[in-house]
């Protein structure tokens, strides 16, 4: 299986965590290479990554959550992203949506705004994104209060979503201080081998993150 990815991409981190949790063999193809970028655009003209290409089954998949479910079906391992129990599965999918839609999306909007030329920036939109992050932090702080991981006692798809979302969101709209439960959860994620590896691998690219100077 081939993963088209970039080592700074939050949605690619989400899939990498699942791959690393299970020690799944795959071929990483980094989008910095022009020939790789050309192949990726031909496979997925939406121009979004990650993209998984499964040559053996002739399948091309985008959307991080779907890629993770696909990997669970085609290359299962000890890490099971969706719990067997139906109620736990619903909670996992709900948490996955909360992290993608209300943490990742506003975080990406703030980062994208910073990358625009000064005259094209949108302070109103950035303000709205910051307010959404504040609301999401408050909701999540309560929801995970008695949980080790995002959906309960086991690591799931929801944690694959949470790790990149919270890591980057904390850089653009710091949560530490106001949200101790969420901050401690982010620390637990960062201590996990799979996510620690993702964070190490980002290092050479980190100066390209537009908030790197402020965020450290």
Ligand X SMILES: N[C@@H](CCC(=O)N[C@@H](CS)C(=O)NCC(=O)O)C(=O)O
Residues near ligand X (CB under 6 A) are 9-11, 47-49, 63-64
- Shortest Å distance, C-beta 47 to ligand X: 5
Q: How many residues does the chain have?
A: 216
- Shortest Å distance, C-beta 108 to ligand X: 6
- Shortest Å distance, C-beta 142 to ligand X: 25
Q: For ligand X, give the closer residue by CB, 64 or 175.
A: 64
Strands (E), the chain: 2-5, 27-30, 51-54, 59-62
Q: For ligand X, give the closer residue by CB, 78 or 207.
A: 207
Q: For ligand X, give the closer residue by CB, 181 or 209.
A: 209
* Structural tokens at position 136: 């999401």
Q: For ligand X, give the closer residue by CB, 71 or 179.
A: 71
Q: For ligand X, give the closer residue by CB, 49 or 70.
A: 49
Report the half-sphere exposure of 88 (CA within 13 A, side-chain side): 16
- Shortest Å distance, C-beta 184 to ligand X: 25
- Shortest Å distance, C-beta 10 to ligand X: 5
Instruction: State how far the alpha carbon of 187 is from the alpha carbons of 49, 60, 103, 126, 202, in Å.
Output: 26, 34, 17, 26, 17
- Cβ–Cβ < 8 Å for 215, 209: yes
Contacts of 67 (CB under 8 A, 6+ apart): 15, 18, 50, 52, 61
């Amino acid at each position: 299986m081939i993963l088209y990815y970039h080592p700074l991409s939050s949605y690619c981190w989400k899939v990498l965590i699942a791959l690393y949790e299970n020690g799944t063999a795959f071929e990483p193809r980094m989008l910095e290479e022009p020939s790789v970028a050309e192949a990726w655009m031909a496979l997925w003209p939406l121009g979004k990554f990650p993209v998984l290409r499964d040559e053996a089954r002739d399948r091309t998949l985008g959307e991080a959550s779907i890629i993770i479910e696909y990997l669970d079906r085609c290359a299962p391992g000890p890490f099971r992203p969706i719990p067997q129990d139906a109620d736990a599965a619903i909670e996992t999918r709900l948490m996955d949506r909360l992290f993608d839609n209300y943490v990742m999306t506003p975080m990406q909007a703030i980062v994208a705004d910073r990358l625009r030329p000064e005259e094209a920036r949108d302070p109103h939109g950035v303000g709205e994104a910051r307010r959404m992050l504040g609301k999401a932090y408050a909701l999540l702080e309560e929801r995970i209060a008695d949980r080790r991981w995002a959906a309960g006692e086991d690591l799931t798809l929801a944690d694959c979503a949470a790790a990149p979302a919270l890591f980057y969101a904390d850089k653009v709209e710091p949560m530490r201080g106001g949200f101790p439960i969420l901050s401690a959860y982010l620390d637990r994620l960062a201590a996990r081998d799979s996510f620690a590896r993702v964070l190490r691998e980002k290092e050479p690219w980190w100066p390209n993150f537009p908030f790197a100077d402020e965020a450290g």
